[in-house]
Amino acid sequence: MNLSERDLKVVWHPYTQMLNALPPIPIVRGNGACLFDEDDKCYIDAISSWWVNIHGHAHPYIAQKVAEQLQKLEHVIFAGFTHEPAVDLAERLLKILPANQTKVFYSDNGSTAVEVAIKMCLQFWHNRGQQRTKILAFKNAYHGDTFGAMAVSGRSAFTAAYDSLLFDVDFIDLPDSANIEALKSQISNLKSQLACFIFEPLVQGASGMIMYEAKYLDQLMAHCRQEQVLLIADEVFTGFGRTGKAFACDHVSVQPDVMCFSKGLTGGTMAMGLTTCAQFIYDAFLSEDRLKTLFHGHSYTANPVACSAAQASLDLFLADSTMENIRRIENRHRQFAMKIQNHPRIRSTRQTGTIIAMEWETRTDTSYFSSLRDRLYLYFLDAGIILRPLGNIVYILPPYCITDEQLDYIYSKIENALETI
Ligand SMILES: *Cc1c(COP(=O)(O)O)cnc(C)c1O
């Protein structure tokens, strides 16, 4: 039996209908933007392995730092104990986050970072004895797959089996010039019950790389602040350079009260989540009354090896060459968008930073389950490119180390697909 066959006997894969799933492709090693299979065929990782990899695969610097940490300390309980990697990482991150962020809470992934953020905000009001229990979110939002994170995400085919169990959330449209005033009054009408507003700044990733303007987000955030609605920026996807600045919130002037990170945090090396908050949120949990404690934690909270991967990833992220690479990818994406935007099979193109998305014209189904999606996915795989269209939306978000030649190859295959698929 080969590895794919052994896999199908014992493994259940994420977001995969196992009845008719194609055998998974065994990957043996990675280098830069390339992943290599058993025959040493290179697949260009044009989606950064589900958006996590920012510096390329098996980066020798991250590998070295992780190896060193493993030989010193692999893990220690994080209640009552601490360690250098966790403290150092928190100090360094807070220096580059919006200035009001002063405390870091560690967890395991993006969904847990969101759970912690929601619990911080709900308990903030609880601890102050105020009845604010409702949450505001954007329609079509995606904040993760655990129950709280699902509840603040849009209802969809992915949540249908659990919808009746998800707590009620007030969903609003994305802001634009036409609806911004109406959204503000909607928020004002709900304000006395609203604990917080959670949003993906600038780009809604999982719902199809839907983009909206920073200036209207800024206005919405300012209005929430005025109405004392706490602001949670979910930067799990947008953090660490994706949008062209270090963080998507660097595009707006209002600073969020709480922020969530994961994905690019460790450069795509280890699972880790992180929730940061402003001092006044933290202060609301300080009390002689033990019931005001934030009762949340995971077994692997602040795992030292994950922290050292994040430290190493941060070293690389802060090097000048990384921002230069981000600029380079932005420019190349822009030129490519201009080249194809009038193609009859392209309904629209959009771009924020290193993310480019193309909506394909299709007479049939545009859903996540569309057959166009499957044909495109297989076509690109065959060409040695990993692209996973969301329905009829093809997007590229590469590791920042991707070469111009690799980008041009991806673009040329997309142009070819426009003629043939
Ligand atoms: C991926 C994602 C999450 C969930 O992160 P996981 O690590 O997959 O649990 C949360 N929020 C946003 C915006 C995401 O893109």
Nearest CA to ligand 1 atom 8: 110
Comparing CA positions, the residue from 369, 349, 353 lying closest to residue 411 is 349
Question: pLDDT tens digits, residue range 391-412?
Answer: 999 999 999 999 999 999 999 9
73-317 has which fold?
Aspartate Aminotransferase; domain 2 (3.40.640)
Ligand 1 pocket: which residues have CB below 6 Å? Answer: 109-111, 114, 142-145, 200, 205-206, 234, 236-237, 262
Task: Check if CATH label 3.90.1150.10 holds for domain 3-58+320-420.
Answer: yes
In the chain, what is the straight-line distance between the N-terminal and C-terminal CA atoms, in Å?
33
Residue for token digits 């908050």? Answer: 277
Closest atom of ligand 1 relative to the 141 alpha carbon: 13
pTM value surpassing 0.95: yes
Question: pLDDT tens digits, residue range 213-262?
Answer: 999 999 999 999 999 999 999 999 999 999 999 999 999 999 999 999 99
Beta bridge partners, 352, equal 355
The pLDDT score that the predictor gives to residue 365 is 64
Task: Find all residues with CB under 8 Å of 235, minimum gap 6, and list them.
Answer: 201, 247, 248, 249, 259, 260, 261
Q: Which of 143, 198, 211, 238 to mutate for ligand 1's pocket (most ligand atoms within 8 Å of CB)?
A: 143
Task: Find all residues with CB under 8 Å of 51, minimum gap 6, and list them.
Answer: 205, 237, 242, 263, 264, 397
Question: pLDDT tens digits, residue range 95-151?
Answer: 999 999 999 999 999 999 999 999 999 999 999 999 999 999 999 999 999 999 999
Domain with CATH 3.90.1150.10 in the chain: 3-58+320-420
Residue 232: enclosing H or E segment and its boundaries?
strand 230-234
Comparing CA positions, the residue from 153, 172, 151, 179 lying closest to residue 229 is 172
Token pair of 10 as six digits: 């014992």
The pLDDT score that the predictor gives to residue 368 is 67
Question: pLDDT tens digits, residue range 304-343?
Answer: 999 999 999 999 999 999 999 999 999 999 999 999 999 9
- Per cent of the chain over pLDDT 90 is 96
Question: pLDDT tens digits, residue range 45-101?
Answer: 999 999 999 999 999 999 999 999 999 999 999 999 999 999 999 999 999 999 999
Residue 412: enclosing H or E segment and its boundaries?
helix 404-420
Nearest CA to ligand 1 atom 11: 143
Cα–Cα distance for residue pair 233/236, rounded to 1 Å: 9
Domain with CATH 3.40.640.10 in the chain: 73-317
CA atoms within 13 A on the CB side of 255: 12
Comparing CA positions, the residue from 170, 203, 168, 202 lying closest to residue 188 is 170
Nearest CA to ligand 1 atom 10: 143
